[in-house]
Amino acid sequence: MKEKIDLLGAGLIGSLLAIYLRKRGLDVSIYEKRKDWRKMDSSGEGRSINMALSFRGWKALEKAGIREKVLPYTQPMYGRRIHDEHGNTFFQPYGKDNQAIYSISRNSFNKLLLDEAEAQGARLHFEHKVEHVQVGNREVRFSLPDGSAKTVRSEVLIGSDGAYSSLRNAFQSQLRFNFKQQYISHGYKELSIPPAPNGDFAMDPNALHIWPRGKFMLIALPNLDKSFTCTLFLPFEGYKVSFENIHDDQDVDQVFKTHFNDAHALMPNLLKDFRRNPTAALINTECYPWTENNALLIGDAAHAMVPFYGQGMNCGFEDCYILDGLVEKYGTFSWDLVFEKFQKGRKPDTDAICQLAMDNFVEMSDNVADPKFLIRKKIEARLHELFPKEWVPLYSMVTFSDMKYSEAYAIGKIQEKVMDQVMRDPLITQNWDRLDYEDILHQVEVAGAV
Amino acid sequence: MKEKIDLLGAGLIGSLLAIYLRKRGLDVSIYEKRKDWRKMDSSGEGRSINMALSFRGWKALEKAGIREKVLPYTQPMYGRRIHDEHGNTFFQPYGKDNQAIYSISRNSFNKLLLDEAEAQGARLHFEHKVEHVQVGNREVRFSLPDGSAKTVRSEVLIGSDGAYSSLRNAFQSQLRFNFKQQYISHGYKELSIPPAPNGDFAMDPNALHIWPRGKFMLIALPNLDKSFTCTLFLPFEGYKVSFENIHDDQDVDQVFKTHFNDAHALMPNLLKDFRRNPTAALINTECYPWTENNALLIGDAAHAMVPFYGQGMNCGFEDCYILDGLVEKYGTFSWDLVFEKFQKGRKPDTDAICQLAMDNFVEMSDNVADPKFLIRKKIEARLHELFPKEWVPLYSMVTFSDMKYSEAYAIGKIQEKVMDQVMRDPLITQNWDRLDYEDILHQVEVAGAV
């Protein structure tokens, strides 16, 4: 008799986790509120359409044995291409020459993972909307499309049901559950740049494009069909350029012509996209504990972050990787132990990446356009070149390694302090490649040793 | 035709608010999930049995015209009486000679306020348990004791329904609602010290008694019947003296004999109390916005704090006072405006007092027993004596004034910095009354001016 395990939510994290758990021989069911969107055009729901896979994500896919299947769906981006207000662009590599993050469409990726989960034997139950969860006995009441109710009593229950998790809502009324949900002042809207008239990409296809404008920005990620998916981030209110101040097509045109003129020329569907696509909010959630009584929160359900470090999905996949490692080590007989080890070990890391994601908005929308920031990045790249192990830039630790997020965060804080000092040199623009790099590294080592 | 306004929760805040609103001529209904406990022995529910009224609370009661009715129910406490491990006690005044906080029983206070609200014409609906709130149209579905449901559509809805507010729960799924709930590592249990055999108070009746023991403490507040209500604060787990390590009567006796021996001698009902009374958790909640669509959160529903500054009720009463002032100013025609002004003006202050309450556990349970802390308090008292307007200790700003909490907080931070510096003098114990007090004040003024 196989042990039964139920997952709520068939998104990216739920699907990958189902693959892992099937490989461990468990009887896996996934309950999902949406229709089976694999037969439909688009999953919609105002979620971000493009994801950026990085090292942690790939590592988790590899262990699940599906790295090779995913690769053809991705488009590597080796750096940021910054667009200034005059239409000039320049390129900032993300890491070393061969290091990239990989753009992938959420929709096709989710289809692929879910197909794989199903092929591995996971049972899929669509159109099951959670109405109530009894945490004490893991009894979940679903409503079905015909209006009827269905109750499932789980032996082991995992909530991979995202930022607005039903399981977490049920946890919230448990004794001593700590929870925070925080919306940022910015919202976003998805837009698009179709292929050029010649059928090719309209811009450099191997970069994440950014139009940094201080309090707001536009970004674009390449798709396999040679289009780009764009995301416009604006404050909801309180600024001249904000969602509350855009009332009609003319306002949209005005904002794009003034601030994103080169992009505007490539966006024939701008007005239609802007009208049709919802303005979505951005939430950060943190909570603890993640487990109660053989039930567990994972991925966004446990820690939803804002998208500015491109780590939401990668972090969720790493959750699955780590959880699977614990199942490997402790077996499936003591889920309480596995879940307890998981939350204790993982929580400091997800706190760190949530914070980094929050902080990174300023870097993406403002700093990247600052000449001094570029010098700073060059110095850091040089340090990394000279001392490849001793100085790894924060972005690289997060994106191109599987170092614990909390450790990357702590090292990043020390580097930041040292670099703030280095950048105080008034002649840094002229002197940056003649610095005493050994000494800079030494300062970090001293600070790290304290 | 009078304007209708519905309140959820007939606790201290809801009852006082109802009095205010009736005085403004509104048609007020209060919906309360509990039975009408005025006819019962005790309200129970694991809530703290004693409250400490201070300046802000009195001011709000005065404006409502019920100060004189409340006064006979209170017992003034002019300071803390600290009990050390050897049974010695010493007294720390809270402020000047005539300044006190006033112990009052929650139960009789709530009865009094509710009687008054009813006498003023508020309609009371007991045993109405909120099942669902539709924020969009302020439709509240209640369940009644007979199992039936009742739906009320409010014109104006106010949630004075405490730390676990149903209205706030409904707000939580609204777009861009920020929310945090945080439990601290300590729990509490109510205990008691009955009157002495001679019928009198068993200890000094004009003090709040504290047995500070670092990671844990016991406190006691006097009652009109000459008993004391005690509250034991212990960590739930992770320490030798913690709730998880108390398994039976013997453990209880052991802890009290070892750490609270003088109190133990006065607690004949200790074991019975300990067994019977629940171990309760302590929550801090913060949220924003407080208002959506003619509905408002107030008191603990908007900002539940831990009890270590004795300000939870006082702050809630001050909420009512401020809200009433806005109604006075803007009238009852534009609740949106009134509620918006209320939340904007008040939020920084409730954030400040929530933080102060959190920080004050360390002061109560640890610092008060430190000889250097006592010197510090003496220096601050001297400063206050010399410069009664220029230097008001933080505790006094919070407790004996109606200065904005956020301002008190900011000034307190500056004072703390200056006092940290003063206390660095290694001979401070000998020199404290020969300091250059003018200079200390000057440092605060300089820091404040920066």
**Chain B residues in contact with chain A using a Cβ-Cβ cutoff of 8 Å:** 164, 172-173, 175-183, 236, 281
- Rounded to whole angstroms, the Cα distance separating A167 from A291 reads 10
**Domain C-terminal end among A215, A247, A281:** A281
Shared domain for B207 and B232, answered yes or no, is: yes
Contact B281 A180 (CB under 8 A): no
Smallest Cα–Cα separation from B174: which of B200, B136, B226?
B136
Question: Is B97 within a domain?
Answer: no
Rounded distance between C-alpha atoms, residue B70 and residue B249, angstroms: 39
pLDDT at position A40 over 90: no
Residues B117-135 have a mean pLDDT of 97
Which pLDDT band holds residue A194 (cuts at 50, 70, 90)?
very high
Nearest residue of A to residue B280 by CA position? A175
Q: B396 and B433, same structural domain?
A: yes
Strand partners of residue A59: none
Domain that holds residue B245: 183-281
Is B178 within 8 Å of A181 when comparing Cβ atoms? yes
Write a three-state SS string for chain B. CCCEEEEECCCHHHHHHHHHHHHCCCEEEEECCCCCHHHCCCCCCCCCCEEEECHHHHHHHHHCCCHHHHHHHCEEECEEEEECCCCCEEEEECCCCCCCEEEEEHHHHHHHHHHHHHHCCCEEECCCEEEEEECCCCEEEEECCCCCEEEEECCCEEECCCCCCHHHHHHHCCCCCEEEEEEEEEEEEEEEECCCCCCCCCCCCCEEEEEECCCCEEEEEECCCCCEEEEEEEECCCCCCCHHHCCCHHHHHHHHHHHCHHHHCCCCCHHHHHHHCCCEEEEEEEEECCEECCEEECHHHCCCCCHHHCCHHHHHHHHHHHHHHHHHHHCCCCHHHHHHHHHHHHHHHHHHHHHHHHHHHHHHHCHHHCHHHHHHHHHHHHHHHHCCCCCCCHHHHHHCCCCCHHHHHHHHHHHHHHHHHHCCCCCHHHHHHHCCHHHHHHHHHHHHHC
Contact A7, A158 (CB under 8 A): yes
| pLDDT the model gives residue A45 | 45
Cα distance between residue B236 and residue B329, in whole Å: 47
**Residue B247 Cα to chain centre, angstroms:** 30
Instruction: Give B215 or B448, the one with higher predicted confidence.
Output: B215
Contact B368, B217 (CB under 8 A): no
Q: How confident is the model at residue A1 (pLDDT cuts 50, 70, 90)?
A: low
Asked if A301 and A161 touch (Cβ cutoff 8 Å), the reply is: yes
Cα A332 to its chain centre, rounded Å, is 29
Which amino acid would we find at residue B389?
A: K
Chain B residues inside the 8 Å CB shell of A180: 179-182
Please check the confidence at residue B376 and state whether its pLDDT lies above 80: yes
Which tokens in the block code for residue A152?
């499932």
Verify that B396 and B292 share a domain, yes or no.
no
Q: Which tokens go with B286?
A: 């913060």
Each residue of A199-233: pLDDT tens digit?
999 999 999 999 999 999 999 999 999 999 999 99
The average pLDDT across B407-422 equals 94
Minimal C-alpha gap between A257 and chain B (Å): 30
Q: Which backbone phi and psi does B134 adopt, to 5 degrees?
A: -95, 105
Asked whether the beta carbons of B377 and B388 are under 8 A apart, the reply is no
Q: Which of A340, A360, A380 is the last residue of a domain?
A: A360
Q: Say which of A172, A175, A281 has its CB closest to residue B281.
A: A175
Mean pLDDT in chain B? 94
Which pLDDT belongs to residue A97? 87
| Neighboring chain B residues of A183 at a CB cutoff of 8 Å | 175-178
Instruction: Note the pLDDT of residue A251.
Output: 98
**Is A183–B178 a contact, with Cβ atoms under 8 angstroms apart?**
yes
Contact assignment for A181 to B177 by CB distance below 8 Å: yes
Which percentage of chain A shows pLDDT scores above 90? Answer: 88
Range name among A266-275, A363-372, A422-431 with the lowest pLDDT average: A363-372
Per residue in B87-102, pLDDT tens?
Answer: 999 999 999 889 999 9
C-alpha distance from residue A288 to each of A297, B161, B293, B420 (Å): 10, 25, 31, 35
Interchain pair B236, A176: CB under 8 A: yes
Residues of A with Cβ-Cβ distance to B173 under 8 angstroms: 164
Residues in chain A within 8 Å Cβ distance of B354: none
Q: Number of structural domains, chain A?
A: 3
Q: Where is the domain boundary, A297, A328, A360?
A: A360
Contact list in B for residue A181 (CB cut-off 8 A) is 172, 177-180
Pair B54, B149: CB distance under 8 Å: no
Q: Where do runs of H (alpha helix) occur along A261-311?
A: 261-264, 270-276
What pLDDT is recorded for position A200? 97
Q: Looking at beta carbons, which residues of chain A come within 8 Å of B177?
A: 181, 183
pLDDT > 50? residue B44: no
Q: pLDDT tens for residues B163-208?
A: 999 999 999 988 799 999 999 999 999 999 999 999 999 999 999 9
Q: Which two tokens stand for residue A188?
A: 């976003």
CB contact under 8 A, A176 and B183: yes
Q: What pLDDT does A191 receive? A: 96
In which band, very low, low, confident or very high, does the pLDDT at B446 lie, cut at 50, 70 and 90?
confident
**A266 and A299 within one domain:** no
CB contact under 8 A, A183 and B177: yes
pLDDT tens readout for residues A244-266: 999 999 999 999 999 999 999 99
Instruction: Check whether residue A110 and residue A23 sit in a common domain.
Output: yes
Residue A56 has which token pair?
């942690």
Interface touch B176/A182, C-beta < 8 Å: no
pLDDT surpasses 90 at B363: no
Of residues B176, B179, B281, nearest to A176 (C-beta)? B281
Residue among B421, B350, B419 at smallest CA distance from B391: B419
pLDDT band at B449; cut points 50, 70, 90: very low
Q: What is the mean pLDDT of residues A138-163?
A: 97
Asked if A179 lies within 8 A of B181 by C-beta distance, the reply is yes
Residue B29 and residue B162 in one domain: yes
Query: How far is it, in rounded angstroms, from Cα B177 to Cα B10?
Result: 25
| Alpha carbon A436 to its chain's center | 37
Quick count: other Cβ atoms within 10 Å of Cβ A435? Answer: 15
Q: Which structure tokens are listed for A65?
A: 């044995």
Are the CB atoms for B202 and B196 separated by under 8 Å?
A: yes
Q: Is the domain of A307 the same as that of A436?
A: no
Q: Count the Cβ atoms, other than its own, within 10 Å of residue A243.
A: 17
Q: Do B180 and A180 touch (CB under 8 A)?
A: yes
For A265-393, where are the alpha helices, taking DSSP H only? Answer: 270-276, 312-330, 335-365, 371-386
B293 and B148 in a common domain? yes
Lowest mean pLDDT among A127-136, A151-160, A359-368, B105-114: A359-368
Chain B hits for A178, CB-CB cut-off 8 Å, are: 181-183
A146 CB burial (10 A radius; 0-12, 13-18, 19+):
exposed
Q: Please indicate, yes or no, if residue B24 is contained in any of the structural domains.
A: yes
Q: How far apart are CA A390 and CA A411, in angstroms?
A: 11
Give the Cα separation of A262 and A259 in Å (integer): 9
Contact B395, B93 (CB under 8 A): no
User: How many Cβ contacts (< 8 angstroms) between chains A and B?
Assistant: 34
Query: Is A51 in contact with A313 (CB distance < 8 Å)?
Result: yes
**Residues A182, B181: C-beta atoms closer than 8 Å:** no
pLDDT, tens digit, 9 for 90 and up, residues B74-86: 999 999 999 999 9
What is the residue whose two structure tokens read 């890491």?
A: A95
Task: Fill in the DSSP letter of residue A24.
Answer: T
pLDDT tens-place string over residues B264-306: 999 999 999 999 999 999 999 999 999 999 999 999 999 999 9
Which residues of B fall within a CB distance of 8 Å from A236?
Answer: 176
B164: distance to nearest CA of chain A, Å?
Answer: 9
Taking an 8 Å cut-off on Cβ atoms, the answer to whether B172 and A181 are in contact is yes
Measure in Å the smallest separation between the Cα of A431 and chain B Cα atoms. 35
More confident residue, A426 or A349: A349
Question: Is A82 part of any domain?
Answer: no
Q: Do B178 and A178 touch (CB under 8 A)?
A: no
Query: For residue B190, is it within any domain?
Result: yes
Is residue B370 very low, low, confident or very high in pLDDT (cuts 50, 70, 90)?
Answer: confident
- What Å distances lie between residue A243 and A261, A399, B147, CA to CA? 19, 31, 46
Q: How confident is the model at residue A152 (pLDDT cuts 50, 70, 90)?
A: very high
* Cis bond upstream, residue A268 (ω within 30): no
Q: Which range (A164-168, A332-336, B373-377, B446-450) has the least confidence?
A: B446-450
Tell me the pLDDT of chain A averaged across its residues.
Answer: 94
Rounded to an integer, the average pLDDT of B426-450 is 85
Q: Do the Cβ atoms of A179 and B179 come within 8 Å?
A: yes
Confidence of residue A447 (pLDDT cuts 50, 70, 90): confident
Structural domain contains residue B88: no
B83 part of a folded domain: no
CA-closest candidate to residue B225, choices B129, B109, B343, B104: B104
Identity (one letter) of the amino acid at B395? Answer: Y
Instruction: With respect to residue B61, please indicate whether it lies within any of the assigned structural domains.
Output: yes
Confidence of residue B367 (pLDDT cuts 50, 70, 90): confident
**Judgement on whether residues A176 and A187 belong to the same structural domain of the protein:** no
Of residues B179, B182, B281, nearest to A181 (C-beta): B179
Indicate whether B114 and B225 sit together in one domain: no
Asked if residue A204 and residue A253 are part of one domain, the reply reads yes
What integer pLDDT is reported at residue A140 of this predicted model? Answer: 98
Q: How sure is the predictor about B330, in pLDDT bands with cuts at 50, 70 and 90?
A: very high
Please check whether residue B86 lies inside any domain of the structure: no
- Enumerate the residues of chain B whose CB falls inside 8 A of the CB of residue A177: 181, 183
> A29 forms bridges with which residues in the sheet?
A6, A123
Q: Is the pLDDT of residue A60 over 90?
A: yes
Domain CATH code at residue A11: 3.50.50.60
In this complex, do B181 and A175 lie within 8 Å of one another by their Cβ atoms? no
Strands A178-193 and A228-235: antiparallel
Give the Cα separation of A441 and A203 in Å (integer): 38
Q: Give CB contacts under 8 A, 24+ apart, made by B254-263.
A: B259/B85, B259/B211, B259/B213, B259/B216, B259/B218, B260/B83, B260/B211, B260/B218, B261/B85, B261/B87, B262/B83, B262/B87, B262/B89, B263/B83, B263/B193, B263/B211, B263/B218, B263/B220, B263/B230
User: Is the predicted pLDDT of residue B1 greater than 80, yes or no?
Assistant: no
Cβ-proximal residues to A240 (8 Å cutoff; 6+ apart), any chain: none
Residues B17 and B155 in one domain: yes
Q: How far apart (Å, rounded) are the C-alpha atoms in residues A251 and A258? A: 10
**CA–CA gap between residue B136 and residue B188 (Å, rounded):** 38
For B282, which residue in chain A has the nearest alpha carbon? A176
Closest CA to A279 of A187, A410, A384, A348: A187
Write out the two tokens for B223.
Answer: 């009652």
Using a CB–CB cut-off of 8 Å, the residues of A that contact B are 164, 172-173, 175-183, 236, 281
Looking at the complex, report in whole angstroms how far the Cα of residue B205 sits from the nearest Cα belonging to chain A.
Answer: 35
Dump pLDDT digits (tens) for A8-17.
Answer: 999 999 999 9
Taking the alpha carbons at both ends of chain A, their separation in whole angstroms is 54
Residues of B in contact with A165 (CB under 8 A): none
Of A178, A183, A281, the CB nearest to B182: A178
ipTM of predicted assembly, 2 dp: 0.83
Q: Which of A298, A430, A441 is nearest to A5 (CA)?
A: A298
